[in-house]
């Protein structure tokens, strides 16, 4: 078959580039160097004052595919808070421009509408995870890093595993240091690769991502977890990116220097956490694949959903 005439190729490329830049400016706002800038979360309340720790009072709104929401599911499972804190699973819908509720709540069909119900006139991002108070019909918090701290510390009276502390005082400095490094270069680093809008921005993010993964690989030769021999919130924050890495980030986000299965110690570490009680049930791989490849259409305009990669190491490797 003949290649289309050059004017068709050039016109098509020009039109698609303009459309892509417009969509990406809304999906992933860049700075003047083409680097993705993740906006800050806006609801940052704690369980104090008008928000008291009570069972069955709070709901956690999540999406299976979201790594930030996944953190909260893992901590909820490890602490044994399933009976105390309900989850509401949302569906990502690109046509709706965000997350859809499984059923109408307060005459709201989407998460964006629920945000505006809680705060009339709200125009910010409507993200998951979101911790909702069913008594005051208000948003407690939508910052995942803070929600997992809340789940770890504030509901022990209702937890099946109150003895588990994922942020012990003696390790808090180490946890904070790893959180900062992992957030910048890995958690957000994969998005900085996938959403980069210049070659230089992508190259920087890619180099920083794999420098950190290489560093952690060496560290895990001599210890079980980031902060030593104890599982902490820092590990949970890293895990939810690692578990998606071979499934979506390696290909879709161009994080393609290596896969996690190419790192002996990182893959064993990921499998160790995956095999902890309750954690595997929080990992919905078909939905992760569908949502990333299906909803991030600027990165996958053809809409083809690939097959899942080989994830057998998650169950074959013993912790």
The one catalytic residue in 36, 51, 61, 66 is 66
pLDDT recorded at residue 56: 98
- What is the mean predicted confidence (pLDDT) over 197-213? 97
Q: Who contacts 246 (Cβ-Cβ below 8 Å, separation ≥6)?
A: 259, 260, 261, 309, 311
Candidate list 36, 51, 115, 191, residue with the active-site label:
191
In three-state secondary structure terms, 253 is coil
* 100 neighbors 111 (Cβ within 8 angstroms): yes
Alpha-carbon distance values, 181 to 30, 111, 188, 208 (Å): 21, 31, 10, 10
CA distance readout (Å), 211 to 129, 208, 215, 257: 29, 5, 6, 11
What's the CA gap between 107 and 117, in Å, rounded?
A: 9
| H helices, E strands: number in the chain | 12, 7
- Which tens digit of pLDDT belongs to each residue from 263-300? 999 999 999 999 999 999 999 999 999 999 998 888 89
Buried b or exposed e, range 278-287, using 16+ CB within 10 angstroms: bbeebbbbeb
Residue 66 is a catalytic residue: yes
Indicate the Cα dihedral angle 264, 265, 267, 273, nearest 10°. 160
pLDDT score at 22: 67
Strands of the sheet with 91-93, listed across from one edge: 91-93, 98-105, 108-110
193 has catalytic annotation: no
Domains and CATH numbers, the chain: 58-158 (3.40.30.10), 169-316 (1.20.1050.10)
Report helix angle 144-153 to 67-79, nearest 10.
0
* Helix H or strand E segment including 41: none
pLDDT tens by residue, 227-275: 999 999 999 999 999 999 999 999 999 999 999 999 999 999 999 999 9
Model confidence at 190, pLDDT cuts 50, 70, 90, reads very high
d(CA 132, CA 136): 9
Query: How far is Cα 267 from Cα 226, in angstroms, rounded to an integer?
Result: 14
Q: Is pLDDT at 26 greater than 90 in this prediction?
A: no
Residue 3: per-residue pLDDT:
67
pLDDT at 8 over 70: yes
pLDDT at 58: 98
């Amino acid at each position: 078959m003949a290649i289309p005439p050059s004017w068709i190729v050039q016109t098509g490329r020009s039109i698609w580039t303009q459309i892509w830049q417009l969509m990406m400016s809304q999906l992933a706002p860049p700075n003047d160097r083409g680097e993705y800038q993740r906006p800050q979360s806006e609801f940052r309340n704690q369980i104090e004052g008008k928000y008291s720790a009570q069972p069955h009072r709070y709901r956690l709104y999540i999406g299976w595919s979201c790594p930030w929401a996944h953190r909260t599911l893992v901590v909820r499972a490890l602490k044994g808070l399933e009976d105390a804190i309900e989850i509401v699973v949302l569906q990502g819908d690109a046509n709706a421009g965000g997350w859809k509720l499984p059923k109408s709540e307060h005459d709201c069909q989407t998460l964006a509408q629920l945000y505006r119900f809680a705060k009339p006139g709200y125009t910010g991002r409507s993200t998951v995870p979101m911790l909702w108070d069913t008594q005051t019909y208000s948003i407690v918090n939508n910052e995942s890093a803070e929600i997992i701290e809340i789940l770890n510390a504030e509901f022990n009276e209702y937890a099946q595993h109150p003895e588990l502390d994922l942020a012990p005082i003696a390790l808090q400095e180490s946890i904070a240091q790893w959180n900062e490094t992992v957030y910048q270069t890995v958690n957000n680093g994969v998005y900085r690769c996938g959403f980069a809008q210049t070659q230089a921005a992508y190259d920087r993010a890619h180099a920083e991502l794999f420098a950190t993964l290489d560093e952690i690989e060496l560290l895990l030769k001599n210890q079980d977890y980031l902060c030593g021999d104890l599982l902490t919130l820092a590990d949970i924050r890293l895990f939810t990116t690692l578990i998606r890495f071979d499934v979506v980030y390696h290909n879709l986000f161009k994080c393609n220097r290596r896969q996690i299965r190419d790192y002996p110690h990182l893959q064993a570490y990921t499998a160790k956490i995956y095999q902890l009680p309750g954690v595997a049930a929080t990992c919905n791989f078909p939905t992760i694949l569908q949502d990333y490849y299906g909803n991030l259409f600027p990165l996958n305009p053809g809409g083809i959903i690939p097959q899942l990669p080989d994830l057998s190491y998650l169950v074959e490797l013993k912790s």
